[in-house]
A and B are shown apart, each in its own frame.
Chain A
């Protein structure tokens, strides 16, 4: 019986996603592509090469990563909130033999899957519509960052959807915490832009590890074990914390 409940919930979420897959993918590609065109091409004349690569190439990995992790966060937060507060399907699940662990793990994995799928969609769009090309050998390293990052953000979203009752509050968390965290972690600029004194501190923030590490992995094929370790530890802690928080909330 181990986790078959989680699998059933994940399958349900994938069935629902499949029904609106095309429109979801179009919607998710629109915003990173806009950033790409506005900054990459609009500002082309003003920005020189960054860390030895053209700016359009430099920002592409960050945009893909950003799409994946925000999608993971959004899906997890809204889905948990909707199933808990609006539709109350969580309660329907809770009177069947599955455990609260099944429910929270199923939901985390659904958010994670959406993040990964949408990241791939954006990567494909950038690849097809622009001249940017990556070395396929670098993909495995890059994917390990995306997987861990989506996991972290899916957990964060699940916690928000579990604890916050009002939709406005979830919107505020997105605007005040998630967006700044992502933007300041180097989607559009390298960590070397931070003053020397701050740099090592900034690198320890898991989101910096994610964006900086994933970019280095994709562009240079450098797999930084230290950054992976920071991210993996964060994912592990986030997962355990999320399961515990959900469990406690349900016992209220």
Chain B
């Protein structure tokens, strides 16, 4: 059975269709990433799956339970890290976790053990009796992650878990996520492409409420193999070469940073005429550029900044 299954899921806000007949199956034990520009509909999908929002149409099941009809069963099985921290600032770090355990009906002895173990795991043991207000953003985020794990969920939803974290904390969060992978299904959103690339088994890129591509990071990058992207660096006369490069009709895109150019060609066969035209006198470096996940993302969702 799939851990998550969504069929024709739709959510509208007035005339805006935030999620547009979205379908997806995620197998158990997957680390799944949902990527998309601001406003694509990622948080809306997570809110529907965590029973906070009712879809207008379509169905969604978590571990076989219908999010509409069997909300309570769904909530027993999920852990949620929302996009914005929602810690209780009048409770200490430890009390925040104990409260979560109570709401999940956990017994006293088990709660104590589990809470201390998690505080240790996220490196907050020394601050257990402090209030979250006195924590840095990264420490608060780690506490929210710990809270989502208290009751050992089977499906963990993480909405931008590492936004605003320093590289150390990001890596720490990645490590927890990887270590959890065998015991649960993980559904995350992120704007860090490297994160999705290294961490996730499967990636869906969405925009305007619809899925655009679906596959592993390698499969997604494979789609870009046709793009023939190169990097050229010049020792001198970069301005002159820029004019030449811009003049070719087979140069499909051209980006310049100082004396370094990134370009994509309409086909492999154009590399020779290109090199013939610019000669080798001023060239410092020529190389083929492997596509990154970010290239795929930009190619699919365009360059424009979302409102």
Contacts and interface: CB of A to CB of B under 8 A. Distances in A.
Contacts of A177: none
A16 B76 contact: no
Interface in A77-97: 87-89, 91-97
Contacts of A99: 72
Q: Which of A4, A92, A95, A99 has the most CB of B within 10 A?
A: A95
B198 interface: no
25 contacts: A4-B102, A5-B103, A11-B102, A12-B88, A15-B91, A15-B95, A16-B90, A87-B86, A87-B87, A88-B86, A89-B87, A92-B82, A92-B147, A94-B52, A95-B51, A95-B52, A95-B78, A95-B80, A96-B103, A96-B104, A97-B72, A97-B75, A97-B76, A98-B103, A99-B72
Given A1-B105, A96-B100, A97-B103, A91 B54 contact: no
A96 B86 contact: no
Interface of B: 50-52, 54, 72, 75-76, 78, 80, 82, 84, 86-91, 95, 99-100, 102-105, 147
Contacts of B52: 91, 94-95
Contacts of B86: 87-89, 91-92
Contacts of B82: 88, 91-92
Contacts of A92: 82, 86-88, 100, 147
Interface residues of A, number: 22
A73 B89 CA distance: 22
B91 A16 contact: yes
Contacts of B90: 16, 19
Nearest to A250: B52
A88 B84 contact: yes
A8 interface: yes
Nearest to A13: B90
A176 interface: no
Name the 7 nearest CB pairs between A and B, nearest first.
A88-B86, A96-B103, A8-B102, A95-B80, A16-B90, A97-B76, A92-B86
Interface string A1-40: 1001100100110011001000000000000000000000
